[in-house]
């Protein structure tokens, strides 16, 4: 629930500012908490596209990127 605060606030502010939900919600992925925090309040809103993006850096093939899902491998994170 804690991570969803950002999405709940975004949903409220967008309704106040635009009078409707957004067409899409875009968030960076990799660790997951940022994206899930934004996406969670919109899960039941089928009109809102949920788009996750990764940092491509200098390109996936260069190894100089932060695309942990596309260019990563199974392992241990934070411990």
Q: Kindly report the CA angle at 28 between 31 and 59, in degrees rounded to 5?
A: 95
Q: CB neighbours of 75 closer than 8 A, spacing ≥ 6?
A: none
Each residue's pLDDT expressed in tens, for the chain with a length of 79 residues: 678 899 999 999 999 999 999 999 999 887 768 889 999 999 999 999 999 888 777 887 887 877 777 766 777 767 6
- The answer to whether domain 2-62 has CATH 3.40.1350.10 is no
In 10 A of CB 19, how many CB atoms?
7
What pTM does this model have? Answer: 0.74
Q: CB neighbours of 23 closer than 8 A, spacing ≥ 6?
A: 47, 48, 49
- Where in the chain are the domains? 2-62
CA separation for the pair 52, 34 (Å, rounded): 10
């Amino acid at each position: 629930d804690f991570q969803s605060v950002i999405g709940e606030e975004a949903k409220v502010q967008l309704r106040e500012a635009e009078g409707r939900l957004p067409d899409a919600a875009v968030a960076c992925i990799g660790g997951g908490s940022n994206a899930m925090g934004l996406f969670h309040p919109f899960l039941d809103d089928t009109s809102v596209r949920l788009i996750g993006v990764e940092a491509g850096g200098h390109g996936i093939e260069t190894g100089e990127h932060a695309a942990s899902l596309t260019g990563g491998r199974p392992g241990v994170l934070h411990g």
